[in-house]
Structure 1
Amino acid sequence: MALVPYVENAGMGLQKFHQPLATFSFASHTIQIRQDWRQLGVAAVVWDAAVVLSTYLEMGAMELRGCSAVELGAGTGLVGIVAALLGAHVTITDRKVALEFLKSNVQANLPVHVQPRAIVKELTWGQLENFLPGEFDLILGADIIYLEETFTELLQTLEYLCSNHSVILLACRIRYERDNKFLSMLEKQFTVSQVHYDPEKDVYIYRAQKRSQREDL
């Protein structure tokens, strides 16, 4: 995730990001996410897309027990934490600069018996030497499609990590035309469908899977 500077006179819409703790209830657990907008910007606050995707997972959209999952651009790690609490084996990833902060949230919010199911690992999109192709059953991303210059590397990463049976779930708010551009790019490589919309938070969830050879004929 990109880092943006802290702005002292930010508008009221950003005030929740300035709170040191954001508290949620998922999977019968109280989750307290530490935030640090001043130091790490967007990588260290909980965005609405992460809350909506976590809620969607808790609703039983996917069978997570025993599932191998990865969260891309995890930031605070909320989605990965919830997935682990729901039974998945999760690799929670972000760039190196955000890893220690991410790791602290994961360790603070997972019971000891759940922690072995969650690994925090560095991943810069497009740099995939430490991952196996088709490694994951489920790829999760919340609000990760907002920088157009990262689209090519993100698509490369999705293509690499997916097998023919993998499912991608991306939660996002469609803010600009570039967001639709990414979805169009995604549809060239994957079968994409909108599976959920939260009108209160104006967040969409898209499900994508690799196209079969038959579909491409």
Structure 2
Amino acid sequence: MALVPYDGAMIPELRKFHEASATFHFANQDIVIRQNWKQLGVAAVVWDAAIILCTYLELGTVQLRNRTVIELGAGTGLVGIVASLLGADVTITDRAVALQFLESNVRDNIPHGSGSRAQVRELTWGTNLCQFEAASYDLILGADVVYLEETFPALLETLEYLSSEWTTVLLSCRIRYQRDNHFLKMLGGHFTVERVHYDSKRDVHIYKAQKKMKEEL
């Protein structure tokens, strides 16, 4: 997929994506996230869905301390970093092309010896899933991962593989097109899905999904 940068001068709303870094305050500390739109495009900027998901995690609605968490399509790593700082044991994943950039943000915001637990690993949805232990995570996080229709089957396969019946999945996204609703319908065939939060200002939804028991399928 070619990632073509927008012209920030032509679209004022997107100028923030051309900033070299963005600073956020979560888990009682400032988190400075480096961005690199020109090199990595959408994978290297902080989207509203990530900010809203971090805010939701900070509310404490979901138990994080000492829980095993995996973030899919992490991009800059903000969500995984916040989950780690809130006490989770987090695996932060993305495709190989984004890993070096992702690792730098994690390293800068979770210093060695801080007590927070986070590791960065390569994960392309639907590929080599056997490198991860199946059904072994308490929580799966994804911010703005529902946007490319051709990736929906692989994303669903990945969620199914990583989930047990006790795993909670939280997906933060905008519903931009009908295809996004189509993914939620696909997800609902294998998971019980409910909307647990909506930020009207940024038009971001958070959906909670839990794998259906075999007798429910």
TM-score class normalised by the smaller sequence = over 0.9
Distance 1:114 1:155, change over 3 A: farther
Deviations 1:110-165 (A, max 9, x none): 13334661000000000113111102110000000100000000000000000110
Distance in 2, Cα, partners of 1:122 & 1:3: 20
Q: Partner of 2:192: helix, strand, or coil?
A: strand
Query: Which residue number in structure 1 is paired with residue 171 of structure 2?
Result: 170
Aligned length: 215
Distance in 2, Cα, partners of 1:199 & 1:31: 25
Alpha-carbon offset, residue 31 of structure 1: 0.3
Distance in 2, Cα, partners of 1:192 & 1:114: 35
Structure 1 residue 7 corresponds to structure 2 residue 20: no
Distance 1:148 1:195, change over 3 A: same
Alpha-carbon offset, residue 7 of structure 1: 3.2
Structure 1 residue 98 corresponds to structure 2 residue 92: no
- Contact 2:87–2:116 (Cα < 8 Å) also in 1: no
Query: Which residue number in structure 2 is paired with residue 138 of structure 1?
Result: 139
After TM superposition, the structure 1 stretch with the greater mean CA deviation from structure 2, 128-137 or 16-25, is: 128-137
Q: Partner of 1:165: helix, strand, or coil?
A: coil
Correspondences of 1:111-190 after superposition (within 5 Å): 111-114=111-114, 117-127=117-127, 128-190=129-191
- Contact 1:5–1:40 (Cα < 8 Å) also in 2: no
- Contact 1:107–1:115 (Cα < 8 Å) also in 2: no
Correspondences of 1:32-111 after superposition (within 5 Å): 32-111=32-111
Q: With structure 2 as the length reference, what TM-score do the two structures score?
A: 0.96
Query: Which residue number in structure 2 is paired with residue 30 of structure 1?
Result: 30
Distance in 2, Cα, partners of 1:103 & 1:162: 25
Distance 1:191 1:105, change over 3 A: same
Identity %: 59
Unmatched 5+ stretches in structure 1: none
Q: Partner of 1:92: helix, strand, or coil?
A: strand
Unmatched 5+ stretches in structure 2: none
Distance in 2, Cα, partners of 1:54 & 1:10: 29
Moved over 3 A (4+): 7-10
- Contact 2:171–2:208 (Cα < 8 Å) also in 1: yes
Distance 1:32 1:153, change over 3 A: same
Query: Which residue number in structure 1 is paired with residue 205 of structure 2?
Result: 204
CA RMSD across the alignment: 1.3
- Contact 2:171–2:206 (Cα < 8 Å) also in 1: yes
Distance 1:136 1:10, change over 3 A: farther
Q: With structure 1 as the length reference, what TM-score do the two structures score?
A: 0.96
- Contact 1:3–1:42 (Cα < 8 Å) also in 2: no
- Contact 1:70–1:92 (Cα < 8 Å) also in 2: yes
